Each structure stands twice: as C-alpha cells, then as structure tokens.
Amino acid sequence: EPEVTQTPSHQVTQMGQEVILRCVPISNHLYFYWYRQILGQKVEFLVSFYNNEISEKSEIFDDQFSVERPDGSNFTLKIRSTKLEDSAMYFCASRGEGQLNEKLFFGSGTQLSVL
Amino acid sequence: AQSVTQLGSHVSVSEGALVLLRCNYSSSVPPYLFWYVQYPNQGLQLLLKYTTGATLVKGINGFEAEFKKSETSFHLTKPSAHMSDAAEYFCAVSSYNTDKLIFGTGTRLQVFP
C-alpha cells in the first residue's frame, strides 16, 4: 500500500528556534493535513490544505505556524519560534479526490522535542 | 461542537478473548465515526468507518463496530484477540460538513499469550 513519509522521525530543537517538519504525501493525493499529539493527550487537528491554500485550521494553528507545498511532492509544516508546549508528535496525512472524510493516510510522525 | 471519549487508556486481554474498546461521542450534527489503529513506529491506519446506512460496520483484521445513536456510542469489538492486535486504537468523529477529524485520547491494547 502507498505510504505517507515523514522526516525526520525525531527532531530536537532549542526554544525560540525555527523548525520545519517535512512530509511526502501519496503522489496522486490532493488534500493534505497536519495533526499533532502532545504526550498523553488527544490527537489534535492543526490544518488542512488543498489547491495551494489552507482549507481549515484550528485555534492551535496561530501565526507561528505555516504550511507550504514548495514543489510537487513535499508538504511542510514550519514553526517559526518554537515554544516548550510545541513538543509533540506531529502527523502528516493525505487523501485523494472524493467526498469529505474519505480515508486518510497518515505518516508515522515526527517527534518534536523543544528544550 | 464534536468530541470523543474513549473509556480506558489501557485494555489487556488474553489471546483468543473478546476485544471491546469503548468510544462515546458528542455531536450536534449527524456524526461520521472512525476507528484508527497505530502499530509501533507506524502511522495511523483506518480500521473502519461509519458515515450513513448500516449501523454495524466491518473493518479490517476482523474488527467491527456498531453505531448506536441512542447510546451515542461506537464501540470496537473483535471476537478473538490475536497477538498482532496489540496497538493503540483511536476513535474519531467528523461530519458531512467538515474535513476535520476529532480524536479521542486512544486506548492501548495489550494481548497476553
């Protein structure tokens, strides 16, 4: 089965630094998402992206966050100035054309640790 | 607004025993309901989903779930656990007018020989 790939699997950064989390969605997919899970808490929606623009975003996704599809294959999440509370597992997901709530394919996540 | 509650952060069963993972939801619109599974070092995989129609939904690996509107529940079951079922299971809710999934906190299933 095709896979969503996320790199790196684990990233450590200092508070205040910028980080970019990278994702390669499944090649013919058009809808892209970022979710995150703080240790012991729920998986939370951050943002959805379609046709080179944000479709929906949560309250968490403030001005410190941005997403980009810089080329035809990558989908990135940038955190401009990381905070301790940004430490979490970040999941990228994608899906193909079709109705809302069609099957999402998730990557295995990037564990971000902010020190 | 929508939310999901998964009762029991950890569930342990013996191999061959019934698996029951509980999920209750809250939704102001007709819900779409999902179960995802996460094996160690892997991404979340869709086990099954309910959108409309038949309330008993069958998924992969012998799992099934039943949508009970009167109980606002979508519990996941499997008649006979296998060692390979050990994983984290997430219940999620959405609806027809959003592409966003609202997840529960997850239930870690352990299977003992």
Torsion of Cα atoms, B101 then A22 then A94 then A58, to 10°: 30
Which residues in chain B show pLDDT less than 50?
none
Q: Look up tokens 């966003």; give the residue.
A: B100
Q: Which helix (H) or strand (E) holds A28?
A: none
B79: alpha, beta or left? (left if phi > 0; alpha if psi -120 to 50): alpha
pLDDT of residue A97: 79
Give me A69's structure tokens. Answer: 């599809």
Distance CA A92, CA A65 (A): 14
Q: Residue B32 burial by CB count (10 A; 0-12/13-18/19+): exposed, middle or buried?
A: buried
Nearest to B51 among A41, A101, A108 (CB): A101
Q: Is A24 on the interface with B (CB under 8 A)?
A: no
The β-bridge partners of A37 are: A43, A89
Distance CA A93, CA A103 (A): 10
pLDDT of residue A40: 82
Q: What is the three-class DSSP state of B96?
A: coil
B49–A101 CB contact, under 8 Å: yes
* A chain contacts of residue B42, beta-carbon cutoff 8 Å: 108
pLDDT confidence band for A98 (50 / 70 / 90): confident
pLDDT of residue A99: 65
Give the whole-number percent of chain A exceeding pLDDT 90: 75
B99–A3 CB contact, under 8 Å: no
Q: Report which residue type is found at B54.
A: A
Per-residue pLDDT tens for A29-72?
989 999 999 988 889 999 999 989 999 999 999 999 999 998 87
Give me A93's structure tokens. Answer: 């997901």
CB pairs under 8 A between A and B: 63
pLDDT of residue B40: 85
CB A110 within 8 A of CB A48: no
Q: In the predicted model, what is the mean pLDDT of chain A?
A: 92
* A chain contacts of residue B36, beta-carbon cutoff 8 Å: 106
